[in-house]
Homo-oligomer: A and B are copies of this chain.
Amino acid sequence: MMAEKGQVTLTICTTCRRGEMSDPEAKRPGTEMYEALQAFDLPDNIRLRPVECLSACTRGCSMALTGGPARWSYVYGDMDPAQHAEDIIAGVTAYSNTDNGLVPWRERPVVFRKQSIARIPPAEMPTEE
């Protein structure tokens, strides 16, 4: 059933910082976020993908949620690997269960409602003209 809706990718910036880092050699919060998300058992149609820099450096930890040409894409920021991993997985799972990426507002986790940086309409959406 779910596979029919197509692959979903959560792209996590592994170089993201969160505020000041006193030790420049320490593990980046973005890498901690990626590792925290990897601990979850995800269905085959959800892929976690690490990337170095999403150019959202003032809003780390940041991540992008995409799901093919028929779904809206989202960029989220200000995420905390110690607090938000479970909510992120819930939000990604809800997104993967849609055809167009539009999860009803009340069904989105609060971190997705409040920490969205931008959204991009699907490539296949007709113009509004």
- Inter-chain CA distance A49–B52, complex, in Å, is 29
Let me know if A103 is at the binding interface, CB within 8 A: no
Chain A, 66-86, CB within 8 A of any chain B CB = 66, 68-69, 73-75
Check A11 for interface membership: any CB of B closer than 8 A: yes
Q: Which residues of B contact A117 (CB under 8 A)?
A: 55-56, 75, 117-118
Contact of A128 with B50 in the complex, beta carbons under 8 Å:
yes
A27 at the interface (CB under 8 A from B): no
Docked CA distance A46–B127 (Å):
14
A55 to B66, CA, bound (A): 15
By the criterion of a CB under 8 Å from any partner CB, how many residues of chain A are at the interface? 28
Q: Which of A41-61 contact B (CB under 8 A)?
A: 49-56
Contact of A118 among B49, B55, B68 (CB under 8 A): B55
B118 A118 Cβ-Cβ under 8 A:
yes
Complex Cα–Cα for A68 and B75 (A): 17
Which residues of B have CB within 8 Å of A129? 50
